[in-house]
Chains A and B, each alone.
Chain A
Amino acid sequence: MTATPAVEGWFTTGAEPALLGSRCTTCTTVYFPPLTAGAFCRNPACDGEEFAETELSRRGRVWSYTDARYQPPPPYVPVTDPFEPFALAAVELAEGLTVLGQVADGYGVDDLKVGAEVELVVETLYADDSGDRSIWRWKPVIELGQEADQ
């Protein structure tokens, strides 16, 4: 069974997944999460009320990173028992904004550095009655020559 996104309309799936933002057609400011119907541009200097759906850069630079060593409280949905720590990263994109995400399965804080390049992937977050639910995650980009260190 194919996983469905845990939240609808925030990212694409497939071979080259991307976050979906809203770009103001007046001032070009990009918003993520995407804006809902009836939204207006939050740039106080802009009167824009029309937005185009736009795919955000699939790669970005790590603004900072951490991990969760203890199980977060609900509405976090536990996926393993006992809890297994996971890493988190805030990533600066070319569109001028920083987006949080979990870090891809198999990677931890030792694989990250402020300024390092990461790439967006889509992985399973948890399962509910409708099956697996997926989420965007940040995966460290291993540069040529560094493979031996990993």
Chain B
Amino acid sequence: MSTNSVAVLGVGMHPWGKWGKSFVTYGVHAARAALADAGVAWSDVDLVVGGETVRNGYGGYVAGATFAQALGWNGARVATSYAACATGAQALDTARARIMAGLCEVALVVGADTTPKGFLAPNAGERWDDPDWLRFRLLGMTNPAYFALYARRRMDLYGATQEDFAQVKVKNARHGLENPYARYRKAVSVEDVMSSAVVSDPLHLLDICATSDGAAAVVLTSADYAARHGLADPVRVAAVSTVTPTFPNTVMDMPNLSTDSSAATGEPERTFKESIAYAAYEEAGIGPEDVDVAEVYDLSTALELDWIEDLGLCKRGEAEQLLRAGDTTLGGRIPVNPSGGLACFGEAVPAQALAQVCELTWQLRGQATGRQVEGAKVGITANQGLFGHGSSVILSV
């Protein structure tokens, strides 16, 4: 382990659900669980990074300080990140960078949210210069409608079926059965998915993830601190990719009404989502063939199939074949979303990317009871959110 590598010493979560409490309650619960898991005293933490939540007032905007105060001011430095679905990864990256720079030794990263029911809608007020407002006003374009565009392309271009999408839900529901942090722990059949209401053709209600309350926290430390703590071979952060798109961004992205034009520049070498994974692999010095387990952002069932290809786990248009062959299920060649994924959790925006890191940590430690990927040594996460945010984290042991 190189001297500037960063260790994941502890992880913790608050169960996902609809609990009706403050995001601070969830965040503190997860933070204390992560500290206990690490065996680190709160007084040892010298950096707190919070994932911002935009639906919980001023305390949510300054989440890092909100959690620090709730845990009891200890004089730690503080930062707060917001990057839509990639919020947790950006917060993690901030902590990692300060540790690698030698500016701190022990960082606590926390994301927590309380989310509303139904479609995620833009903030109130008339904003004619905000694409996130305009897409609802001029088009009635919801998040599931964007997911449905991607799903339909898989059907028309690669021969995917609605049953394939349903099989992703069936798989993830099965994976999540034993996960104590999952909100939905119930087996689902293809028929259950197919008989649920169509929200945006071709996606059914059970193809689309819910929104949830939840919290996740990670304790990162320097390698030296981990060694002094008696951990010679902890789970390590091999890469954190938080790249933005490269012009021209030619794939329709939330919340935009259009893409960039490629007429003058030509097509980009990689799509935005491909570039997120590419940067992570490059930083970790590994390739897709080295990955044992993946946690990807299944905002919809069909998006999981897109991610499998974006991560290079198979060629473009072949993800359905992996699914049908059982390659992505527990016990298969490359299990995807052993946690149960967003299908079992529902999205708690600022916590979700950290929840992916928690799951991979348990997987690499061999502690994922009931959903363990045997012998997993390398895991990768992936997600994408609004406004050119996305992330991929690679952990290894």
Contacts and interface: CB of A to CB of B under 8 A. Distances in A.
Interface of A: 6-7, 24, 27-33, 36, 42-46, 63-70, 72-77, 86, 88, 90, 94-102, 109, 113-115, 125, 135
Interface stretch (B217-225, B259-267, B313-321): B259-267
Interface of B is mostly: loop
B145 A42 contact: no
A25 B42 CA distance: 58
Interface stretch (B78-86, B135-143, B166-174, B324-332): B135-143
A76 B136 contact: yes
A27 B149 CA distance: 30
Given A66-B145, A69-B201, A97 B264 contact: no
Contacts of B258: 32-33, 97-100
Nearest to B151: A66
B156 A115 contact: yes
Nearest to A137: B139
B252 interface: yes
Contacts, number: 140
Contact of B250 (A31, A98, A99): A98
Given A109-B201, A114-B157, A73 B248 contact: no
Contacts of A74: 121, 136
Interface of B: 118-119, 121-122, 126, 128-129, 133-142, 145, 148-153, 156-157, 197-203, 247-248, 250, 252, 256-265
Contacts of A101: 139
A130 to B, nearest CB: 15
A46 B256 CA distance: 22
Contact of B247 (A44, A64, A73): A44
A33 B128 CA distance: 12
Given A64-B153, A97-B262, A102-B140, 10 more contacts: A28-B264, A29-B260, A70-B119, A72-B142, A73-B121, A73-B136, A74-B121, A76-B136, A77-B137, A98-B252
